[in-house]
Amino acid sequence: MEIVALAGGIGASKLLLGLTRAMDPRELTVIVNTGDDIVLHGLSISPDLDIVTYTLAGVVNPDTGWGFRDETFCTLDQLGVYGRPNWFHLGDRDLATHIHRTAMLREGAHLSQVSESIRQALGVQSRILPMSDEPVPTMIETDQGCFHFQEYLVQRRAEPVVRRISFDGIERARAAPGVLDMLARAAGIIICPSNPLISIGPILAVPGVREALRTRRTHVVAVCPIVGGKSLKGPSDQMLAQLGFEVSAYGVARMYQDFCATFVIDPVDSAQSSAIESLGMEVLIYPTVMRNVEDKEILARRIVEFAAKQKAGTAA
């Protein structure tokens, strides 16, 4: 049974790891946000693609959720000596990934080919697709100016107040090879518990993606990234509030209601289930805070079982 998951970085990777244990990992395709991608020191860096790949390869740093485990930072330290910006912590092994990516792109490869090369080299069995082969940087307009997403998140620690989010060049971007095909054909489509504005938002904004999801609405299951009014990971809650969205499971459900028929919320938010159902969505109440690998696998297994039931229901 083929499953597609739409994913950002760290929050999504927890569920993705669970999915690779709950199903045949070769039947999982992950469509990853590339709005976070940035060029630094002349190198093309794709943080969410790398976070997903390193997590599924079992080599991610478990303390941060990004970069390699047992990483060293000698190159970055030396770049600092030369006065180069070193606010974005690129480890020595991680730099090899960025050098490889940059070299392949310069040689004429597409980002999707680069991602395929990295996942094969690291032994990941699931397919990992960038949302688009074209760069579509997420720009954050704030009270202190307009910044690339990484400058806002990492360099400025998400302190500026967000006024507007845009994805540069999104109108001209095309979905990467395989993205629309997989959305049309997968038995189940999972929206991972990622930031709806800057992780899932860019994927939905790629021309054709939201429309493709709408036509498969009954097969789309989203896991809510807001639990008890707070983000599971990162600054989603504060960004939603600053942009005038309701910071709740119901608030996220409203953002997804046109393309998603099933919404997974944590038991702490169960009081919101009838409001979410009134949006025309089925609500599943499962623990969504994944503290260890067992939590990840249990949640993933429940979602896969639900998708299998939906598939059987459609076939009947």
Which has the closest alpha carbon to 117: 108, 128, 106, 107? 128
From the list 47-55, 69-77, 183-191, 297-305, the region that binds ligand FO1 by CB under 6 A is 47-55
Interaction between residue 50 and ligand FO1 (CB under 6 A): yes
Q: Provide the token pair at 10.
A: 């760290």
Q: Which is nearer to ligand FO1, 67 or 130 (CB)?
A: 67
Cα–Cα separations (whole angstroms), residue 25 to 5, 109, 120, 298: 12, 26, 13, 16
d(CA 105, CA 26): 26
Of positions 5, 10, 31, 299, contacts ligand FO1 by CB under 6 A = 10
Contact characters 52-71, ligand FO1, x per CB under 6 A: --------------xx----
Q: Which is nearer to ligand FO1, 112 or 272 (CB)?
A: 112
**Matching residue, tokens 């990295």:** 118
User: Least separation, in Å, of the C-beta of 23 and ligand FO1?
Assistant: 24
Interaction between residue 86 and ligand FO1 (CB under 6 A): no
Interaction between residue 30 and ligand FO1 (CB under 6 A): no
d(CA 291, CA 147): 32
User: Least separation, in Å, of the C-beta of 59 and ligand FO1?
Assistant: 12
Residue nearest to ligand FO1 (CB): 9
Interaction between residue 9 and ligand FO1 (CB under 6 A): yes
Q: Provide the token pair at 217.
A: 């609405």
User: Least separation, in Å, of the C-beta of 10 and ligand FO1?
Assistant: 6
DSSP 220-255: EEEE-SEETTEESSTTHHHHHHHTT---SHHHHHHH
Q: Which is nearer to ligand FO1, 50 or 116 (CB)?
A: 50
Interaction between residue 8 and ligand FO1 (CB under 6 A): yes
User: Least separation, in Å, of the C-beta of 272 and ligand FO1?
Assistant: 26
**Number of C-alpha atoms within 13 angstroms, CB side, residue 212?**
20
Sign of CA dihedral 64, 70, 71, 77: positive
Residue 131 carries which side chain, given as an amino acid letter?
Answer: M
Interaction between residue 37 and ligand FO1 (CB under 6 A): no
Q: How many positions of this chain bind ligand FO1 (CB under 6 A)?
A: 17
Interaction between residue 130 and ligand FO1 (CB under 6 A): no
Is residue 131 within 8 Å of residue 179, measured between CB atoms? yes
Residues 190-249 within binding reach of ligand FO1 (CB under 6 A): none
Q: Provide the token pair at 102.
A: 């940059």
Interaction between residue 90 and ligand FO1 (CB under 6 A): yes
- For residue 100, what are the contacts with CB-CB under 8 A and spacing of at least 6? 114, 117, 118
Contact characters 91-110, ligand FO1, x per CB under 6 A: ---x----------------
Binding interface with ligand FO1 (CB under 6 A)? 8-10, 36, 47-48, 50-51, 66-67, 88-90, 94, 150, 153-154
